[in-house]
Amino acid sequence: MTSEIIDREARNIFNLAAISLPPPHAVNDLLSIGVCVRCIFRSFGAHGSVYSCSSLTAPMLLSFLREEKGFHSDSSENGIDFDNDDSYCCVCLGILQLASDSDREMGKCEEKASVGGFVERVGEVIRRENHQIDGFSLEISIPPVIAANERALRLYLKKKYDCEEWFKDKFPSEQITVKDALRLLITSALEKHLDAKSGANEFRIRFMYTHSESSAKLQCLLANGHGCKRRKIEATVGIVVDLNGRTRKDSNAVCSESDAAILRALSSLQDHMFIEQFMLPPQKVSKPCQLTTTCHRMPIYIGGRYLKLSRKVSQSRWIIDDERMGEASVEEIIGDNALAICKGDSYKFHAAGREDIDVRMLGSGRPFLVEVLNARCMPSTVDVQQVADTINNSPERYVTVRNLKVLGSEIWTLMREGEAEKQKQYSALVWTSRPLTEEDLDHISSIENMEILQRTPIRVLHRRSPLERKRIIHWMRVEKIAGSCQYFLLHLCAQAGTYIKEFVHGDLGRTHPSIGFILGCRAEILQLDVTDVKMDFFD
């Protein structure tokens, strides 16, 4: 493109943004030291549509200055060679030029690219992962060396132009970030290419920019800083100094790769210390940042209530020494089917409490959530019903589900809060060492809101902390079994977290009082069923 030709879009945008530009000689200076056009506008506080102009280039900016400002300069004399420019912006390291050095995800070597080419390759990543999307949000990670470059440029401009009248008016205290400028540049094109609106948090496209060479130099410079803060900075950026004074990177240092730690170290340097360590202006780079593009969907929650109809099925997958305990698990029966319909990477199973493998879950069922990670498909109501039908019509009938539906992420918090407050009802088959009288049965049924103290049961001491817990038995009812005076069904409602088996037999005195203590005899629990879990928002 010749200096006489500027497209209409760029001309309009330049006119709107020109008020923020410094005098032409300063613009020319910035171009000559290797600052890209978008970083020039950022440095002088421009906002808005100037960053979304896909055809924003240095030749166009100079053409604008010639036509509108009467500026004349031989760019080759000032170190600007647009026809043979193998360097990248010394501030953003090529990010706002849409340049990247061998994108590892896409397997391509990239030069300064067009917006169309950039978004096309983003689309390739999404298509390769087979994601179905109707909206997206952008996550952008940039190397902390860019913050050092921005600071070095500000100090350079201040040192060189502070005495000129225009400087204080044109040089802002804040500027738009590289991340926000990149969003303005590519978002509209991405929306059009993907046929999806931005702003939805469920599906996220992540751009991770790194620049190993510049980042390594930055860490060494920080570690070699002067004064009493040196040891602190060395520890922060993962640099160690050997006995001979040589620095090396410690791969085992806790914060060696922490961008946040490096930024804190940078901010701790006063300007005079920064100037001693860093070159002003920042140096041009011959390689742009390396870009890794990934995408993922935030977790999808499918929830409802489950009934466990077998005493040989555990709640979660239970493997000991490569041997499965029980015939199946609730987690796998529900989770595997949910994962298949969502085409996710994996899943996590969450339930409001748990029952032992030999305890059935009956009645209304236990509330649960399946958290599907990075789902490729958003399940429809029909899809969810298909999952429920598959589980409920299984020949084994180990587990059935009720009220299965896709739920919002807030349900996780509600379940965790409700779990601590809920009441649970049980039915237990109990044997006693002596025949029971009507008086015994009436006494048990008359007890309400009885407080018990439970030490961690012996059977779970190997995996639970040894604690004492106060729990409430809200009510109990006794159901006689015909033809027997030593067997009965005990129906009870207890506070969440009560160990029911131990409440019956006492656990060698570790639960007090217990049914055995109340009756003054030995009591054993033969079978246990959970018959209700109170949690209304899962109904």
CB 388 within 8 A of CB 400: no
**Mean pLDDT for all residues in the chain:** 84
For range 430-435, the mean pLDDT: 96
Residues 94 and 175 in one domain: yes
Give me the pLDDT at residue 74, please.
52
- Distance of alpha carbon 47 from the chain centroid: 29
Q: Mention every residue, 6+ apart, whose C-beta is less than 8 A from residue 394.
A: 333
Residue 281, preceding peptide bond in cis (omega within 30° of 0): yes
* d(C-alpha 111, C-alpha 87), whole Å: 10
Do the domain assignments include residue 538?
Answer: no
Q: Show the DSSP H helices in 129-252 as ranges.
A: 145-161, 165-170, 178-194, 212-223, 230-237
Tell me the range of 50-64, 172-186, 291-305, 411-425 where mean pLDDT is highest: 291-305
Residues 428 and 392 in one domain: no
For range 55-72, the mean pLDDT: 70
CB 467 within 8 A of CB 457: no
Range of the domain at 528: 423-533
- Copy the structure tokens of residue 405: 């539906």
Taking 90 as the threshold, does the pLDDT of residue 215 lie above it?
A: no
pLDDT per residue as tens digits for the range 152-169: 999 999 999 989 888 887
Taking 90 as the threshold, does the pLDDT of residue 320 lie above it?
A: no
What is the band of 261 on the pLDDT scale with cuts at 50, 70, 90?
confident
CATH number for the domain harbouring residue 340: 3.30.70.2510
What is the band of 10 on the pLDDT scale with cuts at 50, 70, 90?
low
Please give the residue that has the higher pLDDT: either 18 or 456.
456
Rounded to 5 degrees, φ, ψ at 220 are: -65, -40
For range 419-433, the mean pLDDT: 88
Do the domain assignments include residue 313?
Answer: yes
Taking 60 as the threshold, does the pLDDT of residue 181 lie above it?
A: yes
What is the band of 299 on the pLDDT scale with cuts at 50, 70, 90?
very high
Q: Which helix (H) or strand (E) holds 123?
A: helix 115-128
Give me the pLDDT at residue 270, please.
87
Give me the pLDDT at residue 86, please.
62
Taking 60 as the threshold, does the pLDDT of residue 460 lie above it?
A: yes
Taking 50 as the threshold, does the pLDDT of residue 233 lie above it?
A: no
Residues 512 and 406 in one domain: no
Total structural domains in the chain?
3
pLDDT per residue as tens digits for the range 378-411: 999 999 999 999 999 999 999 999 999 999 888 8
Please give the residue that has the higher pLDDT: either 224 or 26.
26
Residues 263 and 281 in one domain: yes
Do the domain assignments include residue 239?
Answer: no
Residues 368 and 467 in one domain: no
* d(C-alpha 182, C-alpha 38), whole Å: 10
| Lowest mean pLDDT segment, chosen from 84-88, 93-97, 145-149, 217-221 | 84-88
| Lowest mean pLDDT segment, chosen from 12-16, 283-287, 453-457 | 12-16
| Lowest mean pLDDT segment, chosen from 113-117, 169-173, 525-529 | 169-173
Residues 528 and 405 in one domain: no
Residues 24 and 35 in one domain: yes
Do the domain assignments include residue 366?
Answer: yes
Residues 53 and 179 in one domain: yes
pLDDT per residue as tens digits for the range 325-349: 889 999 999 999 999 999 999 999 9
Residues 494 and 355 in one domain: no
Taking 70 as the threshold, does the pLDDT of residue 112 lie above it?
A: no
What is the band of 236 on the pLDDT scale with cuts at 50, 70, 90?
very low
Q: Mention every residue, 6+ apart, whose C-beta is less than 8 A from residue 117.
A: 98
- Copy the structure tokens of residue 14: 């330049």
Taking 90 as the threshold, does the pLDDT of residue 110 lie above it?
A: no
Do the domain assignments include residue 250?
Answer: no
Give me the pLDDT at residue 415, please.
82
The pLDDT > 90 percentage for the chain reads 55
Taking 90 as the threshold, does the pLDDT of residue 193 lie above it?
A: yes
Residues 517 and 446 in one domain: yes
CATH number for the domain harbouring residue 528: 3.30.70.3190
Residues 347 and 287 in one domain: no
Do the domain assignments include residue 494?
Answer: yes
Do the domain assignments include residue 108?
Answer: yes
Question: Following CA atoms 257, 259, 262, 263 in sequence, which dihedral angle do they give, to the nearest 10 degrees?
Answer: 180
Do the domain assignments include residue 458?
Answer: yes
Give me the pLDDT at residue 77, please.
44
Q: Encode burial over 74-86: b for 16+ CB neighbours within 10 A, e otherwise.
A: ebeeeebeeeeee
Residues 369 and 427 in one domain: no
The pLDDT > 70 percentage for the chain reads 84
Please give the residue that has the higher pLDDT: either 110 or 3.
110
Catalytic residue positions, numbered? 356
